């Protein structure tokens, strides 16, 4: 019997490719990221399984071109790049990778917060440009203390809760806003206080975003919100880029409406050195590396494969969305 066909929009670990090759005919896209749409349009017609990444847009038009597609297995916890309703309608299973990347992503959010508040990356740029010898006063490279500051967590799910625990160890006050207030027991356990969205915006010294990108959160952080934030505050985003209006954020950072921002995710990824964010100093940028640790990425690859195996054989993936 002919082996089923699997297409990967980017490569995975060697162990994963070896396992995939044993069971399937595989093809891996190399080169431009994200994969050009024309190529994906062609490939989707002939495959049984797709392994994709958050940059790939898997919409209804693409799915309608598929003849045998049984499963889409995304190497990510986020699945806003996939039209889940349409997949369900077309009886295509969708697998994703929650849980395993909680710590890694919370750690990155915390690192970004420290980085922008203590101006670490900015200092690195100063040294690389040879300016250290010229700038050496008591007021230079002055950052902001973390302890005693109020961290506002927008979205108290797995990652938001883990970040709250990290913040507690640094003597920060933590407030949060969520679609639903969590139980009093959980609030006590995490030492967090529920506030309205408006309070979160106006009271926080740092806001960290941990909600999915949905119709409700699309471009939610815009100039109106930045105006309500403290002038001394910082914005951290490790969730999804489209939750922030980048043009408004750029303006707010230039005018010092807020003091700084640190972003791991962007409206359209990947971004290059021509992006206006690279021209200002009060922002730290990282290339969507929330889950990017050796340990976490191995676990994600294992789950991605498991979801694929189950889905390609008509079963529900271990971690499944929709159908």
* Chain residues in the site for ligand DGY (CB under 6 A): 54, 76-78, 101, 105, 288, 290-291
Instruction: Evaluate whether 194 touches 178 at the Cβ level (below 8 Å).
Output: yes
Closest to ligand DGY by CB, 144 or 292: 292
Residue 295 annotated in active site: no
Catalytic residue among 23, 269, 302, 306: 269
For residue 54, the minimal CB distance to ligand DGY (Å) is 5
Closest to ligand DGY by CB, 109 or 200: 109
Catalytic residue among 5, 81, 213, 288: 288
Q: Which residues of 82-109 are buried (b: 16+ CB within 10 A; e: fewer)?
A: bbbebbeeeebbbbbbbebbbbbbbbbb
Residue 240 annotated in active site: yes
For residue 97, the minimal CB distance to ligand DGY (Å) is 6
For residue 240, the minimal CB distance to ligand DGY (Å) is 7
Closest to ligand DGY by CB, 260 or 290: 290
Closest to ligand DGY by CB, 102 or 245: 102
Instruction: Evaluate whether 109 touches 163 at the Cβ level (below 8 Å).
Output: yes
Pairing between β-strand 93-95 and β-strand 320-321 as defined by DSSP bridges: antiparallel
Rounded to whole angstroms, the Cα distance separating 212 from 228 reads 22
Closest to ligand DGY by CB, 17 or 289: 289
For residue 153, the minimal CB distance to ligand DGY (Å) is 17
Long-range contacts of 10-14 (CB under 8 A, 24+ apart): 10/35, 10/53, 10/75, 12/51, 12/75, 12/301, 12/304, 13/297, 13/298, 13/301
Strand partners, 28: 8
For residue 303, the minimal CB distance to ligand DGY (Å) is 11
Catalytic residue among 119, 240, 297, 309: 240
Interior angle at CA 162, CA 282 and CA 235, nearest 5: 20
Residue 10 annotated in active site: no
* Residues assigned a catalytic role: 240, 269, 288
């Amino acid at each position: 019997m002919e082996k089923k066909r699997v297409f990967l929009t980017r490569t995975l670990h060697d162990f994963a490719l070896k396992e995939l090759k044993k069971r399937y005919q595989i093809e891996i896209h190399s080169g431009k990221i994200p994969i050009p749409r024309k190529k994906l349009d062609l490939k989707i017609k002939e495959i049984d399984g797709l392994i994709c990444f958050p940059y790939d847009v898997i919409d209804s038009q693409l799915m309608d071109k598929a003849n045998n597609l049984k499963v889409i297995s995304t190497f990510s916890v986020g699945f806003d790049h996939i039209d889940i309703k349409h997949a369900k309608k077309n009886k295509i299973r969708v697998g994703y990778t929650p849980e395993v990347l909680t710590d890694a992503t919370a750690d990155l959010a915390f690192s970004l917060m420290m980085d922008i508040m203590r101006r670490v990356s900015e200092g690195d740029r100063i040294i690389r440009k040879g300016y250290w010898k010229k700038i050496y006063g008591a007021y230079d490279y002055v950052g902001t203390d973390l302890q005693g500051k109020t961290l506002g967590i927008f979205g108290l799910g797995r990652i938001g809760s883990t970040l709250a625990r990290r913040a507690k160890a640094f003597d920060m006050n933590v407030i949060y806003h969520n679609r639903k207030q969590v139980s009093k027991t959980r609030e006590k356990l995490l030492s967090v206080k529920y506030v309205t969205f408006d309070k979160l915006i106006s009271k926080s010294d740092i806001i960290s975003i941990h909600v999915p990108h949905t119709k409700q959160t699309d471009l939610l952080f815009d100039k109106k919100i930045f105006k309500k934030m403290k002038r001394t505050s910082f914005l951290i985003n490790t969730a999804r880029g489209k939750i922030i209006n980048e043009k408004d954020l750029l303006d707010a950072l230039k005018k010092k409406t807020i003091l700084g921002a640190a972003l791991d995710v962007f409206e359209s990824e990947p971004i290059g050195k021509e992006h206006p964010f690279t021209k200002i100093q009060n922002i730290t940028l990282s290339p969507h590396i929330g889950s990017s640790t050796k340990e976490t990425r191995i676990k994600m690859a294992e789950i991605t494969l498991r979801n694929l195996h189950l889905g390609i054989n008509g079963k529900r993936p271990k971690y499944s969305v929709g159908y």
